[in-house]
Each structure stands twice: as C-alpha cells, then as structure tokens.
C-alpha cells in the first residue's frame, strides 16, 4: 500500500514509522531483523531503508604506494526492503539517489522495485562523495531530486528512456521527498529551498519527510511557510533522539541543524552516555507528544541502526 493511502486510512490519528540503515558489509539480515522486531508491536505501516552510495578508499600496496578503490560499505537496500515486506508484511520504502546513478541505472533500479511489489520510494539527490566538496551528478544522471522525481513519474505513465518501447507497462510508485525545516545546507535561504521543494511536488512527489529537528517550533513554522507557498501534501516530521555527547557537535556539523540551549545544557551535565540517552529519549517523547497533539500525520523516527531508544519513545507515545 502507498504511504498516502496509509495516511488516509489513519483518518487523522498520528501513525508510527521509522528508518533503518543497511548493515555494514559482512553483517547479516538477522542484525536488521533484531532491530526491527521490538518495534513491530507499534504497528508501523511502513519502514524506510536508506541508500548509501559508493565511497573512495585508499589501500596500501607497500613501498608507499596507494591504490584508490571504490567501495559500497552499506549495500543491500533493495534486498532488505524485499526481506522486510516478506517477513513482516509491511511496506518497505527504499531511498533512491541521484548520486552514483545514471538515468539508465535509475530505470533498472525502479524496474527491480516494481517487480518485487515495492510501490513506495523516497527520491533524494544524495550528498557529495566524501572526497569532493560539491555534489557531482553522473554524466548521464540527475543533478537534483526534482529531476529524479520526474523520471519516476514518467515511468508511472509508462514512459521509459527508450522511446521505441511501445505499450510498456506503467509503474505505480508513491514518491516521498526530503524537506528541511532549518533549510538544506547548500540553499542560500529557506525561501529558495522551499521554492525547489515545491518543484519536487509539482514534478510528482506525494509527500515530504523532514530532516531531523529538535525544536518543534522550527517544524511548525516550516509547515506554515510551505502551506503559504501552496504546498498541500503531507509533511511528515522526522525525529531523532540524541544518544551520545559527541552528537552535540556531530549533528550540527553533519546535518546543519541547531540544538536548543535547554537540550544542550541537559546533555552537557550528563556524566555518562547512558544518562545522555535518557535525556535524548525524554526530549524526543516531549517533542512527539506535542506533534501528536497538533495532529501530525505520522511520527517518523531515525533509528540509525539502534532500536532501543525508539522503542522507549514509542512505548510512551503510542
């Protein structure tokens, strides 16, 4: 079932969903199930699975020589989605990127999903590879998520890259895209970012999932601004409980989001990461309850590969 159908069916109640990461190469599917199992009692209508593009690593060859190698450290997004749908009978949503994909790769990826009975995707640009400052699309790839949305929407209309294909079957993907309450790091202003978010919707996206935020006011203002700009699709809030002291610097650096003073002070006063985890869980519960009261369609949690914190939050909220 599609995300928008799940939201319609919920009839105004806030649902629970979460995002997982594929395990590092060499780990098993059981490590994924171990994280998902404790969260199934909260009836997620869908589970998102992130996509991780290739990275460049340097291997020592001896005598000071280095060999540049391309590796994917977290492969398996599509396989994990199929395994989730098979085991839990819930919708699994693969993230799909512009980065590292030609249009042909994208089309083939979408055909695989369609054949597997996966009818939801989250369409993203992806970040620059670690060795580069700016994002670079493939030679025949997409530069922005809005272009990727257009390609998916074309396939939904039966338009493949090869114009010679006649009477081709139509896919039926429900498309999610990313939104940034505190603006995307490269956007010159929030207005500019919302302008391009609107383009993703115009090109066919059905809903927005937000970047994590720790101050609900930022989400409420973002939704208000989007509505003023004529964006009417559901805007799903993305939440992450803080769990280590290191994240005080890592989260603003990596995701360009601010942490409220009150949260920072509480975390700084913690004597161990166990205490930080407790603070993070309590903060996220308070955020979740307020969002729930305001009638958000779904609360979407970033598990980052660990379900214990999310389980505690879900027990208190759902």
Residues that bind ligand FAD (CB under 6 A): 50-51, 53, 95, 97, 122, 124-127, 144-146, 178, 184, 186-187, 192-193, 196, 200, 209, 211, 238
Q: How far is CA 36 from each of CA 238, 299, 307, 309, 314, rounded to the nearest angstrom?
A: 18, 16, 7, 12, 13
Residue (2 or 200) nearer to ligand FAD, CB? 200
Look up tokens 């593009």; give the residue.
53
CB of 3 to ligand FAD, least distance (A): 12
Residue (99 or 280) nearer to ligand FAD, CB? 99
Residue pair 255/212 in contact by the 8 Å Cβ criterion? yes
Residue (203 or 309) nearer to ligand FAD, CB? 203
CB of 92 to ligand FAD, least distance (A): 13
Residue (124 or 279) nearer to ligand FAD, CB? 124
Residue 97's DSSP bridge partners are: 124
CB of 145 to ligand FAD, least distance (A): 3
DSSP 50: -
CB of 247 to ligand FAD, least distance (A): 17
- Residue 64 buriedness (CB in 10 A; 0-12 / 13-18 / 19+): exposed
Residue pair 90/46 in contact by the 8 Å Cβ criterion? yes
CB of 236 to ligand FAD, least distance (A): 8
Pairing mode of beta strands 120-124, 55-62: unpaired
HSE-CB at 5 with a 13 A cutoff on CA atoms is 9
Pairing mode of beta strands 91-97, 298-302: unpaired
Residue (233 or 276) nearer to ligand FAD, CB? 233
Count of other CB atoms within 10 angstroms of residue 306: 14
Q: Measure the CA–CA gap between 317 and 42, rounded to whole angstroms.
A: 10
Residue (32 or 209) nearer to ligand FAD, CB? 209
CA angle 285, 287, 291 (to 5 degrees): 115
CB of 126 to ligand FAD, least distance (A): 4
Q: Measure the CA–CA gap between 254 and 22, rounded to whole angstroms.
A: 19
CB of 299 to ligand FAD, least distance (A): 13
Residue (240 or 276) nearer to ligand FAD, CB? 240
């Amino acid at each position: 079932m599609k995300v928008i159908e799940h939201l319609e069916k919920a009839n105004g109640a806030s649902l629970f969903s979460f995002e997982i990461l594929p395990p590092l190469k060499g780990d098993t599917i059981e490590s994924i199930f171990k994280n998902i199992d404790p969260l199934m009692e909260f009836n997620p209508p869908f589970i998102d699975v992130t996509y991780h593009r290739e990275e460049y690593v340097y291997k020592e060859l001896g005598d000071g020589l280095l060999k540049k190698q391309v590796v994917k450290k977290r492969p398996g997004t599509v396989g994990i989605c199929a395994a989730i749908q098979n085991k839990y009978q819930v919708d699994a949503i693969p993230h799909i990127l512009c980065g590292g994909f030609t249009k042909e790769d994208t089309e083939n990826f979408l055909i695989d999903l369609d054949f597997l009975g996966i009818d939801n995707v989250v369409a993203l640009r992806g970040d620059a590879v670690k060795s580069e400052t700016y994002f670079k699309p493939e030679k025949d790839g997409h530069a922005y998520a809005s272009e990727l949305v257009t390609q998916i929407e074309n396939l939904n209309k039966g338009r493949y890259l090869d114009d010679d294909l006649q009477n081709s079957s139509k896919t039926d993907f429900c498309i999610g895209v990313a939104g940034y309450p505190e603006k995307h790091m490269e956007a010159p202003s929030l207005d500019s970012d919302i302008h391009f978010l609107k383009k993703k919707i115009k090109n066919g996206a059905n809903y927005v999932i937000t970047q994590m935020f720790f101050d609900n006011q930022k989400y409420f203002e973002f939704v208000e601004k989007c509505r003023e700009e004529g964006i009417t699709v559901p805007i799903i809030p993305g939440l992450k409980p803080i769990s280590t002291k290191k994240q005080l610097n890592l989260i603003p650096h990596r995701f360009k989001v601010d942490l409220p003073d009150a949260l920072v002070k509480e975390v700084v006063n913690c004597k161990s990461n166990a205490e930080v985890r407790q603070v993070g869980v309590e903060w996220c519960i308070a955020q979740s309850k307020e969002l729930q009261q305001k009638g958000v369609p779904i609360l979407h949690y970033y598990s980052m590969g660990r379900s214990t914190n999310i389980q505690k939050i879900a027990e208190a909220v759902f």
